[in-house]
Amino acid sequence: MTSAADSQRWSEVRMTIRRNGPHHGLVTVIHRTVDGQKHWDRRLDTATFDRLDASGVEVDLPEALRRAVAALEAGRQRG
């Protein structure tokens, strides 16, 4: 008999944002595929971005998200 966990198949795309030193953030986009008990992660893209505004203050969450997406877009245009 096959359990529910063994028969599940799905995938998702995740975007993670982390601090990468005192002034920068690191954004990573990962595609996860799950087939039963097995899973695979494949990194699709990664980029760094400034976390501080012109006066040296850390930006708020919406601005950090905008900067992360802009950094990913800039990397795609270069590469």
Q: Strand 9-19 and strand 38-50: pairing?
A: unpaired
Output the pTM of the full model.
0.79
**pLDDT, tens only, 6-63:** 778 999 999 999 999 999 999 999 999 999 989 999 999 999 999 999 999 999 999 9
pLDDT of residue 61: 92
In the sheet with 9-19, reading across from the earlier edge strand, the strands are 9-19, 24-35, 38-50
Write the CA distances from 45 to 2, 31, 35, 52, 61, integer angstroms: 35, 10, 23, 22, 20
- The Cα 49–Cα 64 span in angstroms is 8
